[in-house]
Structure 1
Amino acid sequence: MDVIELTRRLVSLDTAGCAENAAVALLAPLLEAAGFRLDVVEHEPGRCTLVAEWMLDQPEPPLCLSGHLDTVPFGAAPWRRDPLGAELDGDRLHGRGTTDMKGGVAAIVVAACRVAACRPARAGLRLVLTAAEETGSEGAAAVANRLAGRPSGPLVIPEPTDNVVAFGHKGALWLSAQAHGVTAHGSAPHLGENAVTKLAAAVTRIDGIEFAADDHPVMGRPTLNIGTFHGGLNVNSVPDHAEARVDVRSIPGQKHDLIRTVVSQRAGAGVTLTPIIDLRPVWTDPAGAWVTSATETVRAITGAPAGAPRAMSFFTDAAVLTEALGSVPTIICGPGKPELAHVTDEWCSVTRIRESAEILERICCDWCGC
């Protein structure tokens, strides 16, 4: 099975916020033929998460590989190439999801099938290929209870890192801030209560928050961004409702309940906060034995020199799965360049995708005892 051809077939499927079942239909027969036992969980119609397990009766718990099957939408800007065309141009494979993260998913499946053919006798494998990661890891959440309490080895997620090991990522707390007012004719604003100006003042206060948190040695400081602001229905009425959405990226040691309290206090009376997604940060000690071994394997394959420990600012399904699997050691290492995720004219290096399949196969063999 060629990892580039499999990536191209995945990219040709439109899974932009929907229809992950089409990707599951492509991948499930390959894994079943390799001897994996399959469990398909549909958290809403057409949106499936696939858990594939192999040789779980071995002396050691299974290594877990995970990737998401959905992508973000194409966007309004025109693409120079068909986003579903999966066109090859030299070392570049073009299309939506090549970087984030269908190249990584293809590498998982190819590596897992190769390892299964070796019939190792130390440990098995568990694959978790999820729906709806981009909007808050709903697919991972849908299978978390099935995984909780079951023996598990470490977790590898090949999200885009340019095949450099990252030891964790920031958390994500997205909040809806809403203000209500009283509508009136725009020519008599004194008869109404303007929700837009009320919320605008609150948002200005929120935007200036400095969280009382020590910098993480790798992730740095937490961040807060006001992502959207909507209010009013027409220009000649006093608006009676406004909503802003707040994106907080947290670091280890921060409690999301406390973050919400701080934001609420700064927003002031008359503004209500509702969580949209609540995903914890993830961090694994780079000095751990398995992590050190996996990192050395990656460097041996890519030829990259050792560098300072790295973490990602974006979230992954590790925010759900690491804890569900028993707070296992977790690394993020995948073929895409992080700066190409979600962009118009997304592409991924063919060389990096092939490297990723080799990296994952080697890590799996080291754990499973090939």
Structure 2
Amino acid sequence: MSADVLNLTRELVAVDTIGHSESTALAVVAPLLETAGFTVDVAEHEPGRGTLIAEWHTGLGEPPLCLSGHVDTVPLGAASWQHDPFRAEPDGDRLHGRGTSDMKGGVAAIVAAATKIATLRPSRAGLRLVLTAAEETGSAGARLAAERLAGRPSGPLVITEPTGNAVLHGHKGALWLSARTAGVTAHGSMPHLGDNAVYKLARAVTRLESYAFDARPHPVMGGPTLNVGTFRGGLNTNSVPDSAEATVDVRTVAGQDHAAVLASLAERVGDEVRLAPLVDLPPVWTEPGDAWAASVAEIAREITGHGDGSPRAATYFTDASVLTPAFGLVPTVICGPGEAEQAHVTDEWVSITNLAESVAILERVAVAWCGT
């Protein structure tokens, strides 16, 4: 029996997975998949933080279609919520709650579609589900899944991140950097005896403000971007600071090499600054002319009645940054029921209509690939 996407979304939202307890959320879906005939493996990269790999008829002639999403969520924020963030009570066509759009609704759609498909018999290929932990902080769960699936063939990949059920052909990469400077501390009344690390870092950050990438804009993704997100230095007002750190968020486009970007930025900030990667996730791009990707886009347009066929890409990153290269650069699309504008916001919501349409899209994509 297939899972009900509405109730399953609510059950997943009820589990607080803000940076922890993904294994508890996966315990909601694992029995449903096992009952449907999937083999299920849950592995943890740290206690309580599990990633699930479920497989169904993956030994057929063609490699399995892979459906993937993450179950971790971000903090609620300082603002008060008008809706209980862990109840997901229906409100007209909306479910409000942390993770409804990003992206427990997408995970519920994957499980609902997969359990429906498992009632059929494949003639061409099977299904693989990868439901991950710790995507929001750098895709640690996806890295664990890639290790466990190393050497095993995979077909195309669908990531059900929030797109309003539109098909996106890729997303920008994320290169998050720590920029550190060191100095010598001294009494604040005698600064000439010290070496101020804050001044060094401030000079470097000013140079980054006017940094220009040596990259042509991507025809769909646009150009790369850079943002200095944090700046910290010193311990107290009346001492010369002997250390300072800033964090830098670089979003890259298809065709850029992260090692080359890092080298260019290091040259820009100068020898006083030590740059080190915090997150290094490459961009992902599948050409719209790819036959499988084009078929998924057509299915989504037929079911939703939206879309003009123009290729689109996301500015955010997904686990595809890890899974797509690990699977051999398989064709990849992002298509899920949530709304990108609802990700990480107060009173986050997902459309109940979109949840049902997402299940329908995934079912048709799976039927076409698996030959059921």
TM-score range, shorter chain: over 0.9
Does the residue aligned with 2:42 lie in a helix, a strand or coil? strand
Q: Distance in 2 between matches of 1:267 and 1:119?
A: 59
**Aligned twin of 1:118:** 120
Cross-structure match for 1:156: 158
**What's the counterpart of residue 276 of structure 2?**
274
- Structure 1, unaligned runs of 5 or more: none
Q: Supply the distance in 2 between the matched residues of 1:80 and 1:309 (Cα, whole angstroms).
A: 36
AA at the equivalent of 2:85: P
Shift in Å at residue 218 of structure 1? 0.2
Alignment counterpart, residue 35 of structure 2, candidates 33, 36, 49:
33
- Partners of 2:256 and 2:359 lie apart in 1 by 35
1:31 Cα deviation (Å)? 0.5
Match 2:92 to one of 90, 100, 111 = 90
Amino acid paired to 1:249: R
User: How many Å separate the matches in 2 of 1:40 and 1:165?
Assistant: 29
CA contact (8 A) 2:164 2:337 kept: yes
* Residue aligning to 1:14: 16
Task: Trace 1:46-195 onto structure 2 (pairs within 5 A).
Answer: 46-195=48-197
**Residues 13 and 97 of structure 2 are in contact (CA less than 8 Å); yes or no, is this contact kept in structure 1?**
yes
What amino acid does structure 2 have at the position aligned with 1:190? H
Alpha-carbon distance, 1:145 to partner: 2.0
Q: Is the 8 A contact 2:297 2:309 kept in 1?
A: no
- Matches of 2:193 and 2:349, distance apart in 1: 55
1:290-301 equivalences under 5 Å are 290-301=292-303
Check conservation: 2:125, 2:369, Cα contact below 8 A. Answer: yes
- Aligned match of 1:359: 361
1:166 Cα deviation after fit: 0.2
User: Which residue, out of 285, 303, 306, partners 2:305?
Assistant: 303
2:50 maps to a residue whose letter is C
* SS of residue matched to 1:202: helix
Superposition deviation, residue 48 in structure 1? 0.4
Letter in 1 for 2:137: T
Q: TM (normalized to structure 2)?
A: 0.98
The answer to whether the Cα contact below 8 Å between 1:155 and 1:330 also exists between their aligned partners in 2 is yes
- 1:261-315 CA-to-partner distances (Å, cap 9, x unmatched) read 1111111122101110100000001111111111111111001142421000000
Aligned to 1:226: 228
Question: 1:191: Cα distance to partner?
Answer: 1.3
Deviation at 1:234, TM superposition (A): 1.1
- Return the match for 1:344 from 336, 346, 349: 346
Per the TM alignment, residue 92 of structure 1 is displaced from its structure 2 partner at its CA by 0.7
Q: How many residues matched? A: 370
The runs of 5 or more residues in structure 2 that have no matched partner are none
Conserved 8 A contact 1:149-1:324:
no
Q: How does 1:298-337 map to 2 (within 5 A)?
A: 298-337=300-339
Distance 1:333 1:242 in 2: 41
CA deviation string 1:164-197 (max 9, x = no partner): 0000000000000000111111111111111111
Which amino acid in structure 1 is aligned with residue 94 of structure 2? R
Give the whole-Å Cα distance in 2 for the aligned partners of 1:305 and 1:318: 23
Q: Distance in 2 between matches of 1:344 and 1:293?
A: 35
Partner Cα separation in structure 2 for residue 214 and residue 57 of structure 1: 42
SS for the counterpart of 1:61 is coil
Please, what TM-score do these two structures have when normalized by structure 1? 0.98
Identity value in percent: 65
Three-state SS of the structure 1 residue aligned to 2:279 is: strand
Residue 3 of structure 1 corresponds to: 5
- Could you tell me which amino acid in structure 2 is paired with residue 81 of structure 1? H
Runs of 4+ in structure 1 over 4 Å off: none
Checking the alignment, whether the CA contact within 8 Å between 1:104 and 1:334 is kept in structure 2 is yes
Asked whether the 8 Å contact 2:166–2:307 carries over to 1, the reply is no
Aligned-residue offset at 1:53: 0.4
Give 1:149 deviation, angstroms.
Answer: 2.4
Cα distance in structure 1, aligned partners of 2:320 and 2:209 = 28
What's the offset of the Cα at 1:148?
A: 2.7
Distance 1:293 1:32 in 2: 29
